[in-house]
């Protein structure tokens, strides 16, 4: 019998803790603040930004929105970021992705002060995650580690297989697992014998962006399965990278989609903003 990992429950517990710590910081005269920049009118981005603002309100973190027009240039965006880098009211800066195609995303992300880079995408922060000496880590992988700890799922000595090697999820997840003393294998589109490798996983992380990609014949009995995917199935229904109905009975713990890893991402953004305020305050 498997246990469904409830991302909403873990998220609520962590947010409660963040709210208490924010209150303690405010009593010391430090006000955590998150600046969120949105460029253009992408509807999905607008939903994400609104959710981030709401989450800030819930935990007592000040939020500042900077909405810029669709035709904003790279230089204009960097100019705003440079102002926010110097603004003491701003503990963390987040530029909502994707940005319009005329903007050089890499230049923009690299212009954020690493101490305020609460997404942890700056090369300095990526490097710190790599050597295991970081203040904050990318939000989705950090959220998954938080979930495992909440459910008292051991990581040390376990074999973790990560499917996907993105800079946002796959690679940092592998590093966080190593930091927690797991043995890690990273698989990707060029991996030979994928099924043989995933079947060895005590903890399987699916971050591949393909609906229902992971099936029961890829999963070891009793494995823990973490599904990062946010996909649509053939009926347009939200689903993950894991075929939940097919896989769940083989697992000991599994995250559903929706309601699994998703809620943790914004929660870890709040945690990173709190940490940035503590470090910069």
Identify the architecture of domain 139-262 in CATH.
3-Layer(aba) Sandwich (3.40)
Establish whether 107 is a catalytic residue: no
Establish whether 4 is a catalytic residue: no
Select which of 52, 115, 116, 212 is catalytic. Answer: 52
- Output the pLDDT for position 280: 85
- Name the residue ranges covered by the structural domains of the chain: 29-113, 139-262
How many Cβ atoms from other residues are within 10 Å of residue 75's Cβ? 10
Q: Report pTM.
A: 0.95
Per-residue pLDDT of the chain (281 residues; tens, 9 = 90+): 999 999 999 999 999 999 999 999 999 999 999 999 999 999 999 999 999 999 999 999 999 999 999 999 999 999 999 999 999 999 999 999 999 999 999 999 999 999 999 999 999 999 999 999 999 999 999 999 999 999 999 999 999 999 999 999 999 999 999 999 999 999 999 999 999 999 999 999 999 999 999 999 999 999 999 999 999 988 899 999 999 999 999 999 999 999 999 999 999 999 999 999 999 86
How many Cβ atoms from other residues are within 10 Å of residue 249's Cβ? 12
Q: Is residue 142 within a helix (H) or strand (E), and if so which, with residue range?
A: helix 139-150
Contacts of 136 by beta carbon, 8 Å cutoff, 6+ apart: 118, 120, 125, 142, 271, 272, 275, 276
Yes or no: domain 29-113 corresponds to CATH 3.30.70.20: no
Select which of 21, 113, 117, 119 is catalytic. Answer: 119
Establish whether 87 is a catalytic residue: no
Q: Do domains 29-113 and 139-262 have the same CATH topology?
A: yes
Select which of 96, 117, 241, 250 is catalytic. Answer: 96
- Output the pLDDT for position 77: 98
């Amino acid at each position: 019998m498997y246990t469904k990992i409830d991302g909403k429950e873990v998220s609520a517990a962590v947010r409660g803790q963040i709210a208490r710590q924010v209150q303690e910081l405010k009593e010391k005269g430090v006000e955590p603040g998150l600046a969120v920049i949105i460029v253009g009118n992408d509807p999905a981005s607008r939903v994400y930004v609104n959710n981030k603002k709401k989450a800030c309100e819930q935990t007592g973190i000040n939020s500042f929105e900077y909405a810029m027009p669709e035709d904003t240039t790279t230089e204009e965006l960097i100019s705003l970021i440079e102002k926010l880098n110097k603004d003491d009211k701003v503990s963390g800066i987040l530029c909502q992705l994707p940005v319009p195609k005329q903007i050089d995303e890499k230049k923009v992300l690299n212009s954020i002060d690493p101490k305020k880079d609460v997404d942890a995408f700056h090369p300095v922060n990526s490097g710190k995650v790599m050597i295991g000496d970081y203040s904050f880590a990318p939000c989705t992988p950090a959220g998954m580690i938080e979930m495992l700890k909440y459910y008292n799922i051991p990581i040390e000595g376990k074999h973790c297989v990560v499917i996907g090697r993105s800079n946002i999820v796959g690679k940092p997840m592998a590093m966080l697992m190593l930091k927690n003393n797991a043995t890690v294998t990273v698989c990707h589109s060029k991996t030979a014998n994928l099924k043989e490798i995933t079947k060895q996983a005590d903890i399987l992380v699916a971050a591949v962006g393909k609906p229902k990609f992971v099936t029961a014949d890829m999963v070891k009995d009793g494995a823990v399965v973490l599904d990062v995917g946010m996909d649509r199935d053939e009926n347009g229904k939200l689903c993950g990278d894991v075929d939940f109905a097919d896989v769940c009975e083989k697992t000991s713990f599994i995250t559903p989609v929706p309601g699994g890893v998703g809620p943790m991402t914004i929660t870890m953004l709040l945690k990173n903003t709190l940490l940035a305020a503590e470090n910069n305050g």
